[in-house]
Amino acid sequence: MTAPVDRLRQQRDLDGIIRGAASVYLGNVWPFVRITAVIIPLGVAAAALQAGFDDPLAESLVLLPVNLLQAVVNLLVAAAIIAAISHIESGRPPDFSSAYDVAFERFWTLVGALLRVAFHVMLLAVTVVGIPWAVQRIVRLVEGRHVGECTRAVSLGPHP
Query: Do 58 and 93 have their domain in common?
Result: yes
> Considering 86, 105, 124, which residue would you say is the last residue of a domain?
105
Q: 8 or 103: whose pLDDT is higher?
A: 103
Q: Which amino acid is at 16?
A: G
Closest CA to 74 of 109, 48, 35, 102: 35
> Considering 69, 90, 105, which residue would you say is the last residue of a domain?
105
Query: Do 99 and 148 have their domain in common?
Result: no
> Considering 105, 130, 146, which residue would you say is the last residue of a domain?
105
Query: Do 84 and 125 have their domain in common?
Result: no
Count of structural domains within the chain: 2
pLDDT per residue over 109-148, tens digit each?
999 999 999 999 988 888 887 788 777 777 777 777 776 7
pLDDT per residue over 23-61, tens digit each?
888 889 999 999 999 889 888 888 887 777 778 887 788
pLDDT per residue over 64-109, tens digit each?
888 889 999 999 999 999 999 999 988 889 999 999 999 999 999 9
What angle, 0 to 180 degrees and rounded to 10, lies between the N-to-C axes of helices 29-36 and 14-27? 80
**Dist. CA 62–CA 42, nearest whole Å:** 13
- State the residue range of the domain holding 132: 107-160
Query: Do 68 and 3 have their domain in common?
Result: yes
What angle, 0 to 180 degrees and rounded to 10, lies between the N-to-C axes of helices 56-89 and 107-125? 120
Query: Do 151 and 121 have their domain in common?
Result: yes
Query: Do 118 and 66 have their domain in common?
Result: no
Query: Do 57 and 133 have their domain in common?
Result: no
